Amino acid sequence: MATERDNREGRYAEAEAKNAMVPAVVRRAKDAAIREAAYFLQLEPLDGLDLEKEAAQLEAVNAALDGTTEQLLAWYAEYLEERWRRERLAADRVRAAM
C-alpha cells in the first residue's frame, strides 16, 4: 500500500515538474521566433521599409504570442487539475471498496 502511495506521489511530483517546464519551453520558442523575425528584418533592408511600422507589427505579434501562451498554460493547468481530481476520486473509490 505504501509503495502505491509513493508511486502516486512520484507521478504527481513528475507532473508538477513537467508543468513548471512548460512556461520556459514556450518562452524559449517565442524568443527564438522574435530573434528570427528581427534577423530577417536586418537582412532584408528594402527600399521604403517603415521600420517603425515593422517594429509595431513585431510588438503586436509578441503581444499575441503572450496572450496565446497564457491561454495555453491556463488550459493545461485546468487539464492537470481535472486529471488530478479524477485520480483522487479513483483512489478514494479503491479505498472505499477495501
**Which pLDDT score, from 0 to 100, does residue 11 have?**
72
**Residue 23 host element (H or E):** helix 2-43
Reading the block at residue 66, the C-alpha cell is 503572450
Which residues in the chain land under pLDDT 70?
1-2, 4-8, 17-23, 25, 37-51, 54-55, 64-70, 72
Q: What is the pTM of this model?
A: 0.35
pLDDT (0 to 100) of residue 54: 67
Domain that holds residue 24: 2-97
- What domain count does the chain have? 1
The pLDDT of residue 81 is 83
In angstroms, the Cα distances linking 67 to 52, 80, 98 are: 23, 20, 47
DSSP for 41-98, written as a single string = HHH---TT--HHHHHHHHHHHHHHHHHHHHHHHHHHHHHHHHHHHHHHHHHHHHHHH-
pLDDT of residue 20: 66
pLDDT at position 83? 80
Task: Give pLDDT, residue 28.
Answer: 73
Grid cell for residue 67:
496572450
